[in-house]
Amino acid sequence: MADMIRAKEAAQRWGLTERRITGMCRNGKITGAVKKGGLWYVPGDAKRPADGRIRTGAYLGKGTATKKKRPLPIGISDYRVASTQYYYVDKTLLIRDFLDERPMVSLFTRPRRFGKTLTMSMLKTFFEVSDEDTSVYFRDKAIWKAGKTYRSYQGKYPVISVTFKDIKCESWEKTVEKLAEVLGNEYARHAILLGSDRCHAVDKAYFRQVMERTASASQLTSAFLTLTKMLHEHYQVSPVIIIDEYDTPIQQGHTNGFYDQVILFMRNLFSGGLKDNIHLSFAFMTGILRVAKESVFSGLNNLVVNSILDDKYSAYFGFTPEEVRAMAAYYGASDRYGEICDWYDGYQFGQTEIFNPWSVIYYFRNDCRPDAYWLSTSDNSIVRVVLSEAGATIYEQLQALLQGDAILSYIDTGVIYPEIKSNPSTIYSFLLMTGYLKVVASSRAYDGGSMCRLALPNREIAFVYRKEILDLLTGIVPKSFSVSIQEALFSGNDAALNQLMRGLLLQSVSYFDTAGESFYQGLVLGLCAMMDSRYVVQSNRESGEGRYDIQMMPTVKTFPGILIELKSAGKEKNIDLKALAQSALSQITGKQYEAEMASLGVTTIYRYGVAFRGKEVEIVTG
């Protein structure tokens, strides 16, 4: 046996788990492996076995060798698997930064699909005491090179780890069932406590209730407090609590009408486990929103919030430019970096430039084909709610965003769900926190909020807005219209374009019982959504000797310009709509609204005079 090594040592050499090595030995994947005394041994000079799985999705640029690449971590949220079997972007220095500061409770708020769950799995693997030597998952990572002081924390704590990301129920009763399931499964993971002579019988009785899911909702609120107490008593070390996506049930409660119930439950659950708990070493939480004002964290003075506006930990969620460049080089796609930036870059967390990690991974998986991959991961309900609650000002600001402009807004990182209807200014806080806007510039306000200049991050998010806007405005702007008008533009079919615009205006005005300001804004926003970068759509701007209602300035020289002037007859039945429409058309030419277009070399201009009274409409063209 002199030239043989134990499977555990081989696992450390090869960066695999001991369980995986023993499985390979058992299945004959390692030549010369033998079992003795219940332990597997392998030859000391044995080579690491090939993974054996099919690896797809790696883009191989021109001239790139066909060497097998590590597969991309599509949907992989287990750190041990991701860091040893897939391409892994090393974020382990988050542990160093945390230990340097060591707050009692840390909350990280980031948009969905920005690596929160994988990061929590990393923290669990690093800190949790285990029969397995989990240091193997960090020996080739940055945290291991950071020094002995940081390594000394590895594998030293019992850990409570739960995720609420899948608790998406339509009723409070179903939500309680899912909460009981999540907490019960975590209790079962620590079933060793039932046999511990250091834990009290009363606590063990409660333990069985939670594990067997017979505890009531009010009893479940003590789940974190009791489990930390029992783990502390058994291991003689205060445990770590990790709670992933804590606010998912809260969002569902807001959407489905049980908001007050879920808030009360969460407040009691977190207060017991996190507030003044002598059995707690420290805790990590993730979510999309802070929701501090809801008193979920009432009195929790040991909570440190790390939002997307903060510099600390800013590089640990999402990919940095250096990480994306390295990834592109690994998959032979360095020449595609500019395209990746256009589509998936643009986020600003603190002072750090960040790419959407989910979309970047899918981009490489799909042979470097750009698409709105993030769009398919959610129903984008936040954008839909914003649009449904939007007034004229919001419409104008969304129009500006779609045209590539920035807007100024107050941002409150403690925004709460019910405020979206009662306080329209919170809309942009929601959109920023959930990943639909980026910060261009910011300054802290006296009350803890920030005044921020906001813009759309990239092409992918612009695509999301356009889709949601068009879906909402289907009654105003038919989906078929966007396809038809683009075909007419590309083919240079002036007659078809003229007919389509007339049809759009007819349907748009008649959509409203009383067309007014909402009609103007809805029409302009719909046009912005459809035209993408082919037109700059503006409303109520100066040109010539007056202010036009709607101007569509082409960015492609061969496309025609479009001017629309609208007039309302109000409730006056004796006004001739056709004559009113003609006066609108005459106003376009009389006040030389086409002056701006003409000065920029637009040679073909379509003019539309529109008059409406309720759902009645007349259009003349010239």
pTM of the predicted protein model: 0.76
Residue 508 above 70 pLDDT? no
Tell me the per-residue pLDDT of 271-294, one tens digit each, with 9 for 90 and over: 999 999 999 999 999 998 775 545
Q: How many CA atoms lie within 13 A of 561 on its CB side?
A: 21
Residue 572 above 90 pLDDT? no
Could you tell me what percent of the chain has a pLDDT over 90? 49
3-state class of 240 per DSSP? strand
Residue 433 above 60 pLDDT? yes
Residue 512 above 80 pLDDT? no
Q: How many angstroms separate the Cα of 280 from the Cα of each of 236, 239, 266, 497?
A: 12, 5, 18, 68
Contact 570, 603 (CB under 8 A): no
**Interatomic CA distance for residues 124 and 108, integer angstroms:** 15
Whole-number pLDDT of residue 5:
81
Tell me the per-residue pLDDT of 120-140, one tens digit each, with 9 for 90 and over: 999 999 999 999 999 999 999
> For residues 517 and 114, which has the higher predicted lDDT (pLDDT)?
114
**Interatomic CA distance for residues 160 and 420, integer angstroms:** 34
**Interatomic CA distance for residues 607 and 622, integer angstroms:** 5
Whole-number pLDDT of residue 65:
46
Question: pLDDT-derived band of residue 387, with 50, 70 and 90 as boundaries?
Answer: low
Question: pLDDT-derived band of residue 34, with 50, 70 and 90 as boundaries?
Answer: confident
Question: pLDDT-derived band of residue 509, with 50, 70 and 90 as boundaries?
Answer: low
Averaged pLDDT, 431-449: 82
> Which one of 258-262, 463-467, 546-550 scores highest in mean pLDDT?
258-262
Residues with Cβ < 8 Å from 621, sequence gap 6 or more?
Answer: 498, 502, 585, 606, 607, 608, 609
Residue 63 above 50 pLDDT? no
Question: pLDDT-derived band of residue 427, with 50, 70 and 90 as boundaries?
Answer: confident
> For residues 515 and 182, which has the higher predicted lDDT (pLDDT)?
182
What value does the mean pLDDT of the chain take?
84
Tell me the per-residue pLDDT of 490-505, one tens digit each, with 9 for 90 and over: 565 667 766 776 777 6
Whole-number pLDDT of residue 511:
56
Residue 515 above 50 pLDDT? no
- What count of residues does the chain have? 622
Residue 339 above 60 pLDDT? yes
